[in-house]
Structure formats: C-alpha cells, structure tokens
Amino acid sequence: MSTRDNLIESARALLWERGYVGTSPKAIQQRAGAGQGSMYHHFAGKEELARAAIDRTAAELRAGVDAQLSGPGTALQRISAYLRRERDILKGCPIGGLTQDPDVMVAPALREPVEETLTWLCTRLAGVLTEGLEADELSPPLDPAATAAAIVAVLQGGYVLARAADSETSFEQAVEGILALLTAHTIH
C-alpha cells in the first residue's frame, strides 16, 4: 500500500474510533507509519485528508449496499439481507456516526460526502421498494421515499440504542421491528 493509501486508511480508522477532533495529524501519521512531510506532501492538511478518508468510506459503503440490494430475491428479501448483514454494531455506522461530530457538520467539505451518502442510501432503498410495488410484492399505500427514510432512521437509531446499552440486542430489535412493518405490506 502506498503512503497516501496508508494515510487515508489510518484516517478512516481514527475517524470511526475517535471522531474528527480526536483524530490528530500526529495520530494519523503514527498509525500510517508516515512522517509529517509525507502527509503534507499528499494532503494540504487534516481536512483534505479527512475528506479523502470519508470519500473512501462512503464509496465502500455504497458498493456493499448496492451489491446486496442488487442481489436476487424480492424487494423485502434484499432489504432484509442488507439490514441483517454482518456489521460492527457497537462501533456504529462509519458514515452516520459522523453526523454526531459537530466539527464535521460545520465543515462543508466534510459534511458533503456524509449527506450525499445518506441521501443516496434513502434513494437506493426507495428504488428497491418501488420495484417491490411494481412487481406486486408490496402493497400500497406504502410510500417508497418515506419508508426508505424510516429504514435509514431505524438503522442509524439502532446503532445509537445498541451503543447506549452496550448490547447488539437493541439494534437487532430495531431491525426486526422495521422488517415486521414491511412484512405487513407484502402481498402473499
């Protein structure tokens, strides 16, 4: 892996673990095994490096979600596979968690990929729900956009509940709850 990639990967891990303020350039450099000169050779500063790290995390998240939502099965089966996929629940969402970081939210360059990713996720889920309606798998009055927003809210809220309780159970209950509500809209 190149020095630039090591810096980005180190920033990604630290942002997820510590947030933006808790991620110092020195900590990034130490984790990457890179000197200050190397960091500033590749990036103008901490914000530019954080943006590259957030962009990479967002791209990875999108690719994984898209692969699951594009897989075989009904709309509900694909959404269920996405919601039940293996994840590090107690660490939270590496993108959604950034919304709780005030320094990320006030910096347009850092906020933009977070907002774009969550908007993309809602849009992608709404597309799958629309497919389910068009294939007569799901029944009206299910609103794809509102339901997709609810799914994302439940997912992100599930992370918060699990972290607060220090237990994955709360997350799993939230997922099962939204899936039960969606199941009520399936056409048998």
Sign of the torsion formed by the C-alpha atoms of 23, 29, 30 and 33: positive
Return the CA Rg of the chain.
19
**And the tokens for 13?**
């891990």
- Domains in the chain (CATH in brackets) are 57-183 (1.10.357.10)
- Residue 28 contacts residue 49 (beta carbons within 8 Å): yes
Q: For residue range 26-84, what is the model confidence (pLDDT) as tens digits?
A: 999 999 999 889 999 999 999 999 999 999 999 999 999 999 999 999 999 999 999 99
Of 89, 91, 82, the C-alpha closest to 62 is: 82
Chain position carrying tokens 């897989």: 71
Q: For residue range 34-49, what is the model confidence (pLDDT) as tens digits?
A: 988 999 999 999 999 9
**And the tokens for 33?**
């095994």
Q: What backbone torsions phi and psi does residue 186 show, to the nearest 5 degrees?
A: -80, 150
Q: Which pTM does this prediction carry?
A: 0.94
